[in-house]
Structure 1
């Protein structure tokens, strides 16, 4: 078989040569840059095989670029990208995919409580919404229309008939600290048993830290009684073996000695030791006002957010073997936290929990 005749670009003018050089220096489109290099090298007398060898491509590719330039000039160096294949899933079908994904599968005759992408794809095909669709397409359609994979959570609605009045009673000292005293949010944290606790940390990829598993825990539990001082943002606490009314009253006496000249307003839940007659009698005689939360409304106690942080940064991710070791770790975190404490103001100012009917609505 004879050798194919060489193909070169047509005669290129000085202006066209400068334009080709400018494209090779400034073009950000890799395809346009490659085509311009082919044309420029051919204009300089390089044969197609040599150009193909230098650019690591085929001779046919080089000849196609040269022919295109000879036919259409510089228009041939501007790629005309098409929009790809036409959509096979129209907008209405995409809407139906999202509607079905939000439905309970059992309502549609499927014997499971949630959709996987594969099960959703199979249902769409079986029900005739589409003739064919990939799992990847379903995965991309859902978030594009605001449907995401979320965990189902529970919400305990308050059954307190005086909820609104009690909630406003809580919000009032939060929003308007009393001039004659100090607001303290009080609660118990625990139980603090000795066990490996899951947590989060930065680790090398693919090398997670594993903690031992425990089945026998015979060292008992402890409890932390704590108070959040809204005026300073500091957290005051005591760790005790039990959390009876005796321990609670002892803690209140400690708080009373800390601020002897101020009236104390204590925000606390309906735990029975908080309402013990001995506690109530002592509080009435020592300028301590107990402000109780509505039933099933512990989230109104500002200290709950502080407990979440204590749990996250102190016990989580640890495996303490003694209560002394665990108590020391918790105390070290709280001391560091108190050094950076700021007064607490603006409780949930933009949250829907400010609405009086919020606790009676399921989340």
Structure 2
């Protein structure tokens, strides 16, 4: 019965190529052909031929359909990936690095030799992780460095609060009128005496101020537009934030 089934598989050549080749190995082996000759016939390693024969002796026709493993086991865990992302987005001055930006090579080297935690990951896999998390290589922007001696402590406190108590973090700001500027043009004029345009226009309908509040956890922005700005308006905005978390806990 098994012999007829093997002949059908080999003659019809249907199914996967692996299934047909294994059936051929078993049929040729049943005729007394040496393992080395079978290996040359099916273009396989002799050890592979022996494994197929032994599997058929133990399982029968079930050996034609091998149960492949799920691939090589993962080398880094989900926690390692989170550590990689956190390291890539951390300010380098906090890590004591003598440069201003990571390269993939530098980041991989740092992860492999970090004192607190070691993560060995290849450069290509590192690129994939950063791409999957939406982290791209971007140009830095200019800023004014604070001279506050407690700057690092305050920044650490902000990061700690936004990490541990995100649902209680809010942002508030007020936005005044835009500075309306005309588009620059060109014209013939004496050297050093270009035509000049006023830097702003008359606001014949008045101006508006926007008092906005933003909830970091809910990703929700709300606010109100007013004709002027005063302490009572700012207080009303802060009260709306308190109303969003009426339990009395710190915000």
Structure 1 length normalisation: TM-score? 0.37
1:150 aligns with 2:165: no
Per-residue deviation, residues 292-329 of structure 1 (Å, max 9, x unmatched)? 7xxxxxxxxxxxxxxxxxxxxxxxxxxxxxxxxxxxxx
How much has 1:246 moved relative to structure 2?
5.3
* CA contact 1:21–1:40 (8 Å) conserved in 2: no
Quick one: distance in 1 between partners of 2:42 and 2:6?
22
1:107-126 matches, within 5 Å, as: 107-124=94-111, 125-126=113-114
CA 93–63 in structure 1, closer or farther in 2 if over 3 Å, else same:
closer
CA 149–53 in structure 1, closer or farther in 2 if over 3 Å, else same:
same
How much has 1:105 moved relative to structure 2?
0.9
How much has 1:133 moved relative to structure 2?
4.0
Q: Which residue of 2 aligns with 1:223?
A: none
Q: Which residue of 2 aligns with 1:240?
A: none
Quick one: distance in 2 between partners of 1:35 and 1:149?
50
SS at match of 1:115: coil
* Residue 78 (structure 1) aligned to one of 42, 58, 65: 65
Q: Which residue of 2 aligns with 1:173?
A: none
Q: Which residue of 1 aligns with 2:84?
A: 97
1:270-309 matches, within 5 Å, as: 273=195, 275=197
Per-residue deviation, residues 96-126 of structure 1 (Å, max 9, x unmatched)? 2101101221122111100122322333332
How much has 1:75 moved relative to structure 2?
1.8
Superposed CA RMSD = 3.8
Aligned residues: 166
How much has 1:140 moved relative to structure 2?
3.1
Structure with the larger RCO, 1 or 2 (CA within 8 Å, 6+ apart)? 1
CA 86–51 in structure 1, closer or farther in 2 if over 3 Å, else same:
closer
CA 77–132 in structure 1, closer or farther in 2 if over 3 Å, else same:
same
Q: Which residue of 1 aligns with 2:24?
A: 37
Quick one: distance in 1 between partners of 2:196 and 2:32?
96
* Residue 244 (structure 1) aligned to one of 187, 193, 203: 187
1:138 aligns with 2:121: no
Quick one: distance in 2 between partners of 1:187 and 1:12?
88
* Residue 15 (structure 2) aligned to one of 7, 21, 26: 26
Quick one: distance in 1 between partners of 2:19 and 2:135?
40
